[in-house]
A and B are shown apart, each in its own frame.
Chain A
C-alpha cells in the first residue's frame, strides 16, 4: 500500500536510499545536498540500514570510495552538488570507464563563480560527457521515483554504467511537497540484491579493475562504453515500465505536456517545467496551442524521439539552465537543435539561457517565451537564436 507524506526533495531521496539499503555510502557535505547524507547518517546510526556509512574528507574521496566499494562488489553511492561534483571530475570518468554501477544523488547547484549556492544545471551539464547516465526530476516525487529506479538501470548487464539522479537545488531539495511513498518491502523487491558477475572480493577469481590500456585497446574500450550507453535507453524504459506497474506512476525518456497538437513548444529540464505547465494551462484557456517537452533522461540523449515528438511544431524554444559559453548556445540547445537538424525539421528554434544561480522563473516569463515563439512564426524573423532571459539589461 502506498503511503502519503510530505517531504523535501532531499528527505525523499534519503527515504528512498533507506528503502534501497545500499552497502556503502561515502559522503562529504556540500549545500544543498548535505541533508541527503545527513538524514541517511541518522538511519545508519539508528540501525535502520545495514549500510557502511563513511564520512570522508572530500568529494574526490567520496567518489573514489564509492568506486572502490563498487569494484569490490558492493552497491555504492554518494551525494553531492556543484563544486563537490567538480572535485569528483576525474573519478566520474573512472567510474564510467570501469563500468561500475555507482549511483550519485546530485542536487543541482551553480558552479563558482561568482560563488553562489542556488540552483542551475552548470554542475551536471559540465559532467554530461563523463559517461554517466543522467536522469532529472521536476519535483520531489520524481526525485524519489528516479532514485528507486537508479540501481536497476545502472546494474543491468547490458548497461553497467554509473547513474546520476539529479534534482534542482533548494527548489525541490528543500521545498516540502506532498509525495506518495512506496512500502519498504515494495522497494526491496523492486531493487533486489546486487549480484555482480565479477568483483574484487571474489576469492575464486582474482580480478584487476582499471588496468592500463595502451593505444591498441583504449579505443575499443570506449566503443564498448558507447554501446552500453546506447543500450541503456531501452533499459531505462523497461525499468520505468516495471516501476509504473508497481507504483502507478509512469515515466519515459521525457514527458510531453499538451504537446500533441502544439504549434509552439518549450523544451526544458527540471523544476521550471512545473512553472511552464501553469503558463501552458493559462495560454490554452486563451486558445493558444502551446506545449512542453520536459527532458527526464539527458544521457543517453533521446535525439530521435525528441525530434519525432516535435515534428509538428512551428517554433520551439530550448531552455538551458546552464550556459556553455560557446557563443552559440547552452548544452540542451545544442543537443536538441542537432536532433532537429538530423530529422530535417523545418521548425524555428531558439535557445534561451535562464535561471542561472537560482534566478526565479515566473509563469509570466514562460508566457512571454510562447509569445515570442508566436511572433517568430508569424514574422519568420528568429532574431538572436542564443539569448538570455530574466537578466537586467541597459534600457
Chain B
C-alpha cells in the first residue's frame, strides 16, 4: 500500500489524495520532522555520562536511541525538548539548550 503514501505530497491534486487523508502504511511518523516544534534541545556532556540509560527509558518520544547497552546521539528530528531526560539524569550530564 506504499503507493497510497506516495500520493501524499505537496503537488498532489485533491483527486489523488487518499479518502479522508488516511495513511495506509505503518511507522510513517518517523518521516515527519516534529523536532522543529521546539528550539529547546538536550545537550549531552559526554564526559559526565555513565551510560545508565535512564534517559532512554523516560523519553516520551523514543528520541534517545540506544545500541546494545550504549546510548547514542539524541534524535533531534523528533525530540520535543520536554527536558525530562535532563531532570532524571543522576549525573547532571544533560543540559537543555535554547531556553
What residues make up the interface of A, taking CB atoms closer than 8 Å to B?
97-100, 160, 198, 205-211, 213, 216-217, 219-221, 223-224, 227
Nearest chain B CB to A15 CB, angstrom units:
32
Find chain B residues with CB under 8 A from A219 CB. 14
Q: Which residues of B contact A99 (CB under 8 A)?
A: 19-20, 22
Show 19 A/B contacts (Cβ-Cβ < 8 Å), sorted by A. A98-B20, A98-B22, A100-B20, A160-B20, A198-B19, A198-B22, A205-B25, A206-B27, A208-B28, A209-B20, A210-B20, A210-B22, A217-B21, A219-B14, A220-B12, A220-B14, A221-B17, A224-B14, A224-B15
CB distance from A388 to the nearest CB of B (A): 41
A208 touches B23 (CB 8 A): yes
For the complex, what is the distance from the CA of A227 to the CA of B16, rounded to whole Å?
13
Shortest distance between the CB of A160 and any CB in chain B (Å): 6
A98, A99, A208 — which one has the most chain B CB atoms within 10 A of its CB?
A208
Query: Quick one: which of A160, A206, A208 contacts B19, CB cutoff 8 A?
Result: A160
Which secondary structure dominates chain B's binding surface? loop
Interface size on B, residues (CB 8 A): 18
Residues of chain A lying within 8 A (CB to CB) of residue B14: 219-221, 223-224, 227
Q: A205: which B residues are within 8 A, CB to CB?
A: 1, 24-25
Q: Which of B20-44 contact A (CB under 8 A)?
A: 20-28
> B10 → chain A, closest Cβ, in Å?
6
Q: Could you say which residues of chain B place their CB within 8 Å of the CB of A98? A: 20, 22
Complex Cα–Cα for A216 and B19 (A): 16
Give the nearest-CB partner of A217 in chain B: B21
Chain B residues with CB under 8 Å of A207's CB are: 22-24
Q: A97-B20, A224-B15 are in contact. Are A216 and B25 (CB under 8 A)?
A: no
Judge whether B22 and A221 touch: CB under 8 Å: no
Besides A98-B22, A198-B19, A213-B21, 7 new A-B residue pairs in contact (Cβ under 8 A), listed by A number: A99-B22, A100-B20, A198-B22, A205-B1, A209-B22, A211-B21, A224-B19
Closest to A211 in B: B23
Q: How far is it, in angstroms, between the C-alpha of A27 and the C-alpha of B52 when the chains are bound?
A: 50
A301 to B24, CA, bound (A): 33
B34 to chain A, nearest CB (A): 10
A219 to B12, CA, bound (A): 12
Q: Which residues in B have their C-beta under 8 angstroms from that of A198?
A: 19, 22, 24
A54 to B28, CA, bound (A): 32
Q: Is B98 an interface residue (CB 8 A)?
A: no
Q: Which residues of A contact B26 (CB under 8 A)?
A: 206
Q: Is the C-beta of B89 less than 8 angstroms from some C-beta in chain A?
A: no
B13 is an interface residue with CB less than 8 A from chain A? yes
Give the residue name and chain of the A residue nearest to B25 (CB).
Answer: A206
Q: State whether B21 touches A221 (Cβ < 8 A).
A: yes
The CA of A79 and the CA of B23, in the complex, are separated in Å by: 30
**B19 nearest CB across to chain A (Å):** 5
Q: Report if B82 contacts A (CB, 8 A).
A: no
Contact call B20/A220, Cβ cutoff below 8 A = no
In the assembled complex, the Cα of A209 lies from the Cα of B23 at a distance in Å of 7
Cβ of A367 to closest chain B Cβ, rounded Å: 48
Note all chain A residues with C-beta closer than 8 A to B28: 208
3 smallest CB-CB distances across A and B, nearest first, come from A206-B26, A99-B20, A220-B14
What residue in chain B is nearest A218 (Cβ atoms)? B21
Closest to B17 in A: A220
Which residues in A have their C-beta under 8 angstroms from that of B93? none
Is the C-beta of B86 less than 8 angstroms from some C-beta in chain A? no
Taking CB atoms, residues of chain B closer than 8 Å to A160 are 19-20
Chain B residue at minimal CB-CB distance from A225? B20
B24: chain A residues at CB < 8 Å are 198, 205-207
